[in-house]
Every structure is written in structure tokens, then in C-alpha cells.
Amino acid sequence: MPPQIISGTAIAEKVLAELQAEITTLKAAGRTPGLAVVLVGDNPASRSYVRAKDRMCQKIGLHSEKLELPATTTQEELLTVVERLNNDPAIHGILVQSPPPKHIDEQAVILAINPAKDVDGFHPVNVGKLAIGDPSGFVPCTPLGCQRLLIEAGVETAGAHVVMLGRSMLVGKPFALLMMGKGKGGDATVTVAHSRTRDLRATMRSADVLVVAIGKANFVTADDVREGAVVIDVGINQIDDATNPCGYRLVGDVDFAGVAPKAAAITPVPGGVGPMTIAMLMANTVKACKLTGHEG
């Protein structure tokens, strides 16, 4: 039986349609959720991400403020911008695009954002809320999107063995906490595997649900996945491809062609986790507006 292809593109559209309805209701009550995205420098990938987020805000009716600051912006100047946004009642979510220029202390910027507006979910207050199961916090968008993909695809996580390959604060650690949480999309037995895991390949083969976020193109092969597993591929890597007009193509951390025939369900790259990240950023911003009650 061919695998179920879990389309992040389709599920993201469903999430955005639900948000659009919520935004319409909020606007009728005189409240417009607002997101500010701050970009420091001219990293082409970051600039592309910021513009995509701004377009999505406009598409679903969010108030959007896009701040593009020069690479010469000092730490103090950036913190001043963050503080202004913290105090702006029209802004419910603040995102400072990562990575910033090397002279910027990214952790200090994260700490400066009001946790109630930290829609990226990286402030220690929100990390702590996730750890203790406090639903008023914000979960980082990529792992939250992965969880939503599993729920929408009908994957039962309760009692399942979930292996998370990767231990970053961006994906691995928060996703593990989500899977351990009680309720829908949780209640799993979780193993977090990484480069120091003994017999990593055997650990991956033990997974009912394997989630991969290590940034290595096609790292997971068919031999690493048991028959009937569910595979969520968070990776996005650029590899050379002379047959493509642009000279490259995008692939995940999972060898899709090799793994898909063994999987019960799998996400493609692109079109899997990627679209969900922006959708969950929009969802976190709407949530922030509802929690604060600020009028925009």
C-alpha cells in the first residue's frame, strides 16, 4: 500500500482558513491581531522569509509591521525597537528574524521581548510554560506545526514511541515536550536522539513516529525506518542538481524516495513542514491577541 503523503501545504491552508474566520470575528469586536517582524541586515534567505510572513499577514487580515534594519544596527538600537513594539498596543506578536548579524546578542534580544508577545516561543517564560503544560504560553512554530500535521493526518500518538532526531531549542526539545504532554497529539513515549546517541540507527528503527531535524541532506535511509512508521521530515537542504534550471533542488533530512515505500505516512520536502511554520506563527499571533485583549 502506498504511503499517506502528509501535505503541509493543504493542512496549512485549512489552519489559515480557520484563522481568517477568527480574525473576522475579532475585527468585528474592534480588535485586529498585529504582528511585527524585524529583520536586521540583508541575508537573502531571511529577507525572503520576512516577506513571506508579511504577505501571509495581509492574506488573512492580520495587521503587519515589517521593519528592515541595516546590518550596522547596534544592539542598543535593536533593543530600543523591541521595547517600542513591546509598548505598542496594536502589536500582539514580535518576531526578530534569525540569524541576526554576528555582533547582535540574539539571546539578549529574545529576553527583551515581552513573553506575552513572544510568538516565536523562545523566551524562557514560554519554554517554562511548555514544560509545565501551561496552555497560556507560546510554542515554537515549527514543532507546533509538526504536532498539527500528526493530528490532521490522524496519527495516534498516545502510547506511541516517538523518536525525535535532533535536540535543538528550535525543534527537538520543544517537540519532545509537546509529545510528552497530556491530551490530543501527546501522551507519547519520547526518545530524543542526536549525534552522541549510541546505535543511532537502531534507535530510529524503534520509532512508531520518527521526526527528523538535523540539517543533513538525505541522512535517514530506508534501513533506518521500520515498516509502517510515520516520518516527519523537518529538514530543508539545498543540493546541486544540473537538471534543474536553477542548478539546485531542495531535499529533506530523509531520503524520501527510499523511505516512502516503507512508511505508513510521510511528509514531503518541500510542501511538508515548511508551510506549517508560517501558519502556526499566524496562529500564535491570533492567540496573543485573544489573550491580551489589546485593541489594534
- Which of 34, 29, 39, 69 has the alpha carbon at shortest distance from 296? 34
Integer angstrom CA distances of residue 24 from 10, 61, 258: 21, 8, 44
Which ranges in the chain belong to alpha helices (H)? Answer: 8-28, 44-60, 75-86, 106-112, 124-132, 141-152, 172-180, 200-205, 256-259, 273-292
Q: Are strands 63-69 and 34-40 parallel, antiparallel or unpaired?
A: parallel
Whole-angstrom distance, CA of residue 101 vs CA of residue 119: 21
> Considering 53, 117, 129, 173, which one is annotated as catalytic?
53
> Considering 117, 118, 120, 287, which one is annotated as catalytic?
120
* Catalytic annotation present for 129: no
How many CB atoms within 10 Å of residue 210? 28
* Catalytic annotation present for 97: yes
Region of residue 41 (left: phi > 0; alpha: psi -120 to 50; beta: else) = left
Q: Which residues contact 29 (CB under 8 A, 6 or more apart)?
A: none
Q: What is the dihedral of CA 233, 238, 239, 242, to 10 degrees?
A: 130
Distance between terminal CA atoms of the chain? 51
> Considering 97, 129, 147, 208, which one is annotated as catalytic?
97
Whole-angstrom distance, CA of residue 163 vs CA of residue 168: 14
Are 21 and 38 within 8 A, CB to CB?
Answer: no
Whole-angstrom distance, CA of residue 165 vs CA of residue 176: 10
Q: Annotated catalytic sites, by residue?
A: 53, 97, 120
